[in-house]
Each structure stands twice: as structure tokens, then as C-alpha cells.
Amino acid sequence: MELYATIPSVDKPVSRLFFGTASKPFLAGENCNRLLDEMFDLGIQTIDSARNYQSSEISIGRWFQESGKREQVVLLTKGGHPDLLGRRRINEKEIRKDIECSLRNLHSDYIDIYLLHRDDPRKPAGEIVEIFNALYREGKIRAFGGSNWTHTRIEEANRYAQEHGLIPLTVSSPNFSLAEQVRDPWGGGCVTLTGKDNEQARAWYQENGMPVIAYSSLGRGLLSGKITSGNMADYAKLMDEPARKGYACEENFERLRRCETLAKEKGITVSQVALAWFFRQPMNLFAIVSTSSRERMQANMEALNIILTAEECSYLNLQQT
């Protein structure tokens, strides 16, 4: 698979691997210039952030200022996350407030891909489409869509856009990985494409080809290589609460064991097996991955060229023994 693809309304190549910044140094607003330079030099010029990732946007904005690379980077950020009391904020005032704050933090005049971090089904989808289109006309955002939006809500929004001659949502960011998300890791409406219950959603994305920018593409670290089937007793110590809540189950531990078996046979890593499976699925997929290691990201990139057979994919996903 080619490293770069296109996304409607984004005028730059988009790498299939997004560098995720929901990690400790970015959350703390540390100087992450060296790591960002390393990712960029590898060819990973697509970055994922969010308004509620604490100071992540500040770290990215510092790098933009000091490196001068803003125009060479595809930046995805998100807004409209519920507040600390869980109150939904999907309205024009709050969305605009988040965007203006993000633009200041990022030292940028625009956002390449803007997503609403959560949905509010009580809001008419058409109202949200109108807000997106206004921001697009103002030049503040380019591609836009939803993070943790169901495919049925995206359909609703895009019907409105078609009927009213407006730009539709062109990108979506749900959870998807070999590891099934068995419970909502954070609460508040996380959406996954994993599991038998979501076959219809996967079929919808396969049919229409909408870019899926998947978060927790390695099961929030379960399939990253940090955990092995031999140290599952330490899982609770090694993984954070969202990882334990979302992915800790016997079926996922068996998927990990099978990744290890196949990795040993092929002389590759567990994360390469998991990502090779991911990119073998029949959707227009992009993976958000976080790392503090140039070498680990290089290995993730190599997974794009690892071929798994249909039988191997079925084996990894517990569909055959």
C-alpha cells in the first residue's frame, strides 16, 4: 500500500499513518520539536490532535513556529468535546470558541482536517452542516467531519448537504483495530467499527469509501508490543484505565497471542502484524499511532508493505483456528 493518499478538500498528500499526540510530553506542552522533526523526516507529515488534549496543540504550534513546516503538514484537530461536567457543546458558539483557541495555540490560520470530537444527536444534523460550511467559506477549516459519529448520523448530515447544495462531511474518526473495543473506554458516546454488531457500519464505509481515520488502531497499546501474552498478569499495571476498560477481555488476549505466533513465523513484530491486518481490511483506512521512537514508527510504516493472506487475517480475528 502507498504511504500517501488523498482526502477531499485537503490540498496536500495525507500519510496513511497519522502521528498521534495524545501522549504525556504533548499533553504537558513540552518541547517535542525533535520528535516531530523525526516523524516528518520519515515522511509522516500528518498529525492528529484535539482541543481537549491538554497542551498538545501548544507543543505542535511551537514546532510550526520554529521549524517553518506548517504548509508541509496536514494537521487534524478536534473540538466540541463535552465539558468537565459532561455537558454537550455542539453549537456554533462553542465550536467557534474551540476553533479560535486551536488556531491561536497552533499558530496557524487554518486547520486541514477539523472534526467534532463527539456528536449531539439532539441537534439537527443540518444545523451542524451549516456551521461547518460557514467555517469552510471563512477559510478556517478545509476537510471536516466527525469523531465518534455513527455512520447513520453522517448519512443524515450528508443528505442535508446534498439537498441544500452544501459541502458534505468527508472524513470520519471512529475506533477500529484488530482488538475489539468491548466497552466504551471514556464514556460519553465513543463509536467503534469493531465486532459483529458493527458489520453494517463497516459495510457502509466500504461501499462509500469515506476516509476512516481510526483511533486506538493498536488497541490502545495492547497490540503495540509492550504487552506480551506471557506478562498478562501485569496488564493492569502496564496499561491505563481506558485501555483496561476498552480492550481487556479473553478474546483480545487471544488475538495478541495469535499476533505473536504469526510475528515469530514471519520474523516481524506484533505491531506490524496488527497493522498489516488493519490495512488489509476493505475500507479506506488511516491509522492514528503514537510513539516516542523513530524506529518504532519506521517499523509501523513497513507494515504497509506486509502482505497477509485472507486465511491469516481470519486466524488473527478468531474467525478460524
Q: What is the pLDDT of residues 296-316, one digit of tens each?
A: 999 999 999 999 999 999 999
Location of C-alpha cell 458516546:
189
Indicate the pTM of the whole model.
0.95
**Most confidently modeled of 108-112, 186-190, 239-243?**
108-112
CB atoms within 10 A of CB 93: 8
Q: Mean pLDDT in the chain?
A: 95
Single-letter amino acid, residue 14: V
Contact 298, 30 (CB under 8 A): no
Percent of the chain with pLDDT over 70: 100
227 Cβ contact list (under 8 Å, min separation 6): 221, 235, 238, 239, 256
Confidence of residue 284 (pLDDT cuts 50, 70, 90): very high
* Measured distance CA(139)–CA(128) in Å, rounded: 17
Percent of the chain with pLDDT over 90: 88
The domains located in the chain, with CATH, are 4-224+279-306 (3.20.20.100)
